[in-house]
């Protein structure tokens, strides 16, 4: 029942211009989220090390 309502909602949103904009924003937000997670996974340790070094230099 819920899945059918979801399909109808998505179909209606895709058919409407405002719905298309909303779908585009959702896709863009998803891509940005994936990019941020990827960068954090690749550079997280390096960023943490730099911040630690910076904070140690400031406090001393």
pLDDT (tens digit per residue) in 24-58: 889 999 999 999 999 989 999 998 999 999 999 99
Of the candidates 29, 3, 27, the residue with the CA atom closest to the CA atom of residue 14: 27
Q: Where are the beta strands (DSSP E) in the chain?
A: none
DSSP designation for 60? -
pLDDT for 11 equals: 79
Q: How far apart (Å, rounded) are the C-alpha atoms in residues 32 and 50? A: 24
DSSP designation for 16? S
The mean per-residue pLDDT over the stretch 7-13 comes to 80
Threshold 0.75, pTM exceeds:
no
pLDDT for 1 equals: 65
pLDDT (tens digit per residue) in 19-33: 678 888 899 999 999
């Amino acid at each position: 029942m819920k899945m059918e309502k979801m399909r109808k909602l998505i179909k209606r949103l895709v058919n409407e211009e405002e719905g298309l904009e909303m779908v585009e924003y959702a896709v863009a937000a998803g891509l940005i989220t994936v990019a941020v997670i990827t960068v954090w996974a690749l550079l997280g340790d390096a960023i943490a090390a730099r911040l630690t070094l910076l904070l140690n230099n400031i406090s001393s």
